[in-house]
Structure 1
Amino acid sequence: MTDILGYRAKFGVLGPSTNTTVQPEMDEMRPAGVTNHYSRIIVDNANALSDETFLKGTALIDQGTVDAVRGVMTCAPDYLVMGMSAITFYGGAKGAEQWQSNIEEVAGVKSFIGSVSVVEAFKAIGGIKKVAFLSPYYPVANTEVRNFLSDYGFETVADHPFRAPTWTAIAEITHKQVREVVEQMNDDNVDAILQVGTNLCMARLAGRLEQELNKPVVAINTATYWHALRANGITDKVSGFGRLLEEL
C-alpha cells in the first residue's frame, strides 16, 4: 500500500520546538509526491549568554531528540531529516557518525543530518577546499564546526558566530545582517560560503547570494533536504534555492 500524498517518500522532519525556520523552508523545497511530517524536540527557549550556556542548551536539544524520533515514527516515515545542526558537528567526523548511528538505531530508518549533508553538498559541487561560514552559535560551537570540516579536508579561513541570545532570536537575525557578514568574510581565498544553524533563515537568500558572488553559498537546511531527496533517487529540480536543488 502506498501513501496517497507521500507516494514517493514520507520524511519525518525533526527540529527544536523553538525553531520556526526549518518547517517552512523545507516545505518550500518539497516536490510533489514527497510529504514532510514535522516533529518538535521539546525544549525551553533558553538564554544563551556564553559558550557554557550555549553548550548546555544544545545538550538539552540532544536529550529530547529520541522522544521526538519515537513520536514521528508513529506515522511510519521512510526517512528522517534532522533539522538541528549544532549537535551533528560535535566530536568531528566520528562524533557525527556515532550520533547518526544512535538515531537510526532508535528509528529503524535512515537519517540525514546537517553536518554530513554539508560534506556531500561540497563534494557534489566540487572544487571546494577553503570555506567561510556563519552561524547563530557561540564561538565554542563554531570551533566544533571547524574541526568537523577539517576532518573532511576543508579548511575554514573565516567564520562568524552571531551569538544569538535565545533560540527564538536566531530566527530574528535579518537578511541585512547576514549579507553584511557574508561581505566581510568573502574574498578570493574563499571557495564557498556556508551557513549553519537551522533556525537562521537563509535558504532563499543563499540562492540569491550565489548569483551575486558567483560562488557556492550553501544553506544547511537546503543541503540537508537536498541530500535526503537525492539519496532516495528523487532528482526533481527546485528553483530559488541555489545550484544544489536547481542543478545537482
Structure 2
Amino acid sequence: MTDSLGWRQKFAVLIPSTNTSVQPEFDAMRPVGVTNHISRIRIPNIPLQSNEDFSRLIELIAAAQNEAVDAVMSCEPTRLVLGISAETFWDGLKASVRLKAELGARTQLPVSMGSEACGRAFKRLGMKTIAVVTPYHPVGDENVVRFFEEAGFRVKRIKGLKCASPVKIAHVSELELAHALREIDGDDIDGIIQVGTNLAMARLAAQAELWLDKPVVAINTAIYWDALRSSGIEDKMAGFGSLLEKY
C-alpha cells in the first residue's frame, strides 16, 4: 500500500528554521497526491550587516543541515527538495554539483535544489541573458553570478536587497519587489530570476510577466516545478507564472 495522501510523491523539504515563505508557497503549488514534509535546519536569526555576517549564515546552515536531513528521513520520503537557495549557489557550479551528490548519497533519494532548477527553467523558457533579484549582501550576489555564468548564462544585472536578518527577508513586500523588478528590467535581457527562498514572490512573478512581457521566475516556483517534473508529475497550475502553467 502507498501513503493515503502522498500516493504520488512524498517530498522531504529542507528549509532554514528562519524561513516562513517556502512552506506556504510550496503548499499552494502542491497537486493532489503529493505531500510536503518540512524539516527545519536550526539556525539563529543573526543580524546581517556585512559580507562577513552573510558568510557566517551560510556556514551555520551547512553545519546544521545533516541533522535536519536525517530527521525527515523517518517519514520515508520519495524525494529531497532543498528549500534553500544561497547554499546551492555558493562557490560555483562544481560545489553545487558536489552538494547534490553528497545529499543524494546520504539519503539515497533523488534531490531537487534551486541552482539546478533555475538552469533547467531558463533552458525551458529560452532565457540566456538574465537579471537577478536577491535578498543578499554583495558576497551572496557574487556567488549567484559566479554560478550562473559557470552554468552558461549571462547575468546582465543583479540587485541585492541586503536584508537585515534571515527573518527580515520574508518582510520584503510585493511593492518593494515590483520596484526591484522594474529597476533591473531592460530590452537586453531574456528574463528575470528572483533567488532567496524566503522572499515570497511566486504569485508576483506571474503578475510581473504580464507587465514586463518576459519570463519572470521565482525560485520557489522553479524548485517545486523541477521537483514535480523530475518525479514524472506533469500537472500544470495557473497563478505562479508561465513555467508552472505551461511547461
Does TM, scored on the shorter chain, surpass 0.5?
yes
- 5 Å matches for 1:95-114? 95-114=95-114
Aligned-residue offset at 1:62: 1.4
Counterpart of 1:228? 227
Aligned-residue offset at 1:72: 0.6
- 5 Å matches for 1:169-184? 169-184=168-183
Stretches of structure 2 that go unaligned for 5 or more consecutive residues are none
C-alpha offsets along residues 204-234 of structure 1, whole Å, 9 cap, x if unaligned? 1001101221100010000000000001110
Counterpart of 1:23? 23
Aligned-residue offset at 1:91: 1.7
1:239 equivalenced with 2:238 (yes/no): yes
Q: TM-score, normalised by structure 2?
A: 0.99
C-alpha offsets along residues 104-148 of structure 1, whole Å, 9 cap, x if unaligned? 11111011010000001011112x221100100101111111011
Identity of aligned residues (%): 45
Counterpart of 1:139? 138
SS at 1:208's partner residue?
helix
Runs of 4+ with >6 A deviation: none
Counterpart of 1:205? 204
Q: TM-score, normalised by structure 1?
A: 0.98
Aligned-residue offset at 1:58: 1.5
Stretches of structure 1 that go unaligned for 5 or more consecutive residues are none
Distance in structure 1 (CA, Å) of the matches to 2:66 and 2:112 = 15
Counterpart of 2:158? 159
SS at 2:144's partner residue?
helix
Alignment-mate amino acid for residue 53 of structure 1: D
Q: How many residues align?
A: 247
Distance in structure 2 (CA, Å) of the matches to 1:30 and 1:95 = 29
Distance in structure 2 (CA, Å) of the matches to 1:5 and 1:243 = 27
C-alpha offsets along residues 65-119 of structure 1, whole Å, 9 cap, x if unaligned? 1111101111000001100100100121101000111111111101101000000
Distance in structure 1 (CA, Å) of the matches to 2:153 and 2:218 = 16
C-alpha offsets along residues 47-74 of structure 1, whole Å, 9 cap, x if unaligned? 1110011010111011111111101111
